[in-house]
Structure 1
Amino acid sequence: PAYWYSKSKTASLFGTGPCFGWSSQEVLGWVYYGGGQELFDELMGSLGLNIVSFFNSPMPAQPLGWFKEEIKDASQMNGLKYRTVGLAADVLMEMGMSVVQLPGGEIQPAMKSGLIDAAEFNNPTSDRDFGMQDVSKDYHLASFHQSQEFFEVTFNKKKYNALPAELQAILKYASEAENSNFYWNNTKRYSDDLIKLQKESGVRVHRTPDSVMAAQLKAWDVVVDRLSAEDEFFAKVIASQKAYAKDVMNYLNLNQPDYKLAYNHHFG
């Protein structure tokens, strides 16, 4: 849905929307148990799209990306030509960046030629495969521009409805099973490739400063308020997401221990 930006900005809320304190795992919880699937089906109907979609494949937060120097303050991002897509483009333009929307395969050549100053794509594995380490050595992890992304599998609605109920259920449950496998597999791949970027390519990995991420959240507020005023259905989806996140994350924030505390205890 992030790439449906030109057709419907509301579609971007299903995979690359604002962070209300949740991860992609909890947003998928909203899809399955908080009314998100029903809202998406309603949106598809309003767009005249004859499809059935199942959401899956929760991803870790996308890195802020690759820069020509370490970003220590949000002011350094002002005026930079930066590649991203979807609602993230609105957010980063609100922060003063000049956004260029490019497909994945064009990012590295664009940065090499100077067409763009900085870029994000998705994760350490795909970034390494694209050769981003050859055009930049400052890689920033953690960001709220696309912090809870997930994917979908889509079927022709007419053909899906013609299937026996048993086969429909198999497709649905296969999509749900992919949630676990995707996350387990890719967190291992991403961590392995991050180490390779550092050790084999001399990449300097930085955690994006909290001040930059706080500025992102403020920019998100402006974008969400503007789009909600323009589109009643956009506002409806946002309200549903906020209601779910408020309750679920209240429990999780109270209940979850500080895993970083335990990590530092063992690994320093």
Structure 2
Amino acid sequence: MTVSPHCLFVVSDSTGDTAEKVTRSALMQFGSASAEVKVFSRVRTTEQVARIVQEAELRSAVVIYTLVNPTLRSVIVGKLGEAKLRSVDLIGSLIETLSDFLHQEPAGKPGLLHQMGEAYFKRINAVEFTVKNDDGQEPRNFHKADIVLVGISRTSKTPVSSYLAQKGYKVANSPIVLDLDQPKELFEIDQSRVFALTVDAALLIRIRRNRLQQLGLPPDSEYAMREHVMEELRFARKLFSRNPTWPIIDVTTKAVEETANIIVSLYETRSASR
């Protein structure tokens, strides 16, 4: 096995997961450049710091650290300076700036960055999943979703999905198309995670006509004709009636965030009872 000449030491007084993810994300900016990332987690003593810096000196490593304990941070800064090693303090300067701004001493509790980072990366993963699974693109992924939305076109499936993803929920949505069956994968998952969206016919017609106008298409296309819209809504209602465990949410008078909050409330209640 060939050892990379470029070595990065990630030093943390917690798990080191967040610092490692940030480091690897930064490395992606350099394409095919090879670098070894070595993580030192739960570093809590000056002896550990000394050993790590000594090893870093032997390997000419760049040291990236997240140490919230001011004593440990001071020790590593001093030893890195003595060894003349390049380093990055991922959190120290931020803590000091916030302490000065808020006129408050920091807690100095390891793991807070990890908690913050985990929430951030969970949200990023949720957004990526939701984008890839919009409009029924990947039914095979329905089982990975926290929430699956179903509804005919222009019932706010995509904006509601996006809003929920920003809250950290992985969402897929499946369009209801007249006379077409839903993918079998929809019925193979836990049905308590499926939510149905509907809307008033008159509002839906207006929304669809506006959409056609934006696309430069004639507003009297079948897509926005009253007879066709009513037929789609009847078809959707039949699907919903065959699946009584799906909550039906009427989005007619609701903002996106209001619809999303209703779904979250129902989802959390159902999750607690599972």
Q: Give the TM-score normalised by structure 1.
A: 0.27
Relative contact order (alpha carbons < 8 A, sep ≥ 6): 1 or 2 greater?
Answer: 1
Q: Give the TM-score normalised by structure 2.
A: 0.27
Task: Answer with 1 or 2: which has the greater Rg.
Answer: 2
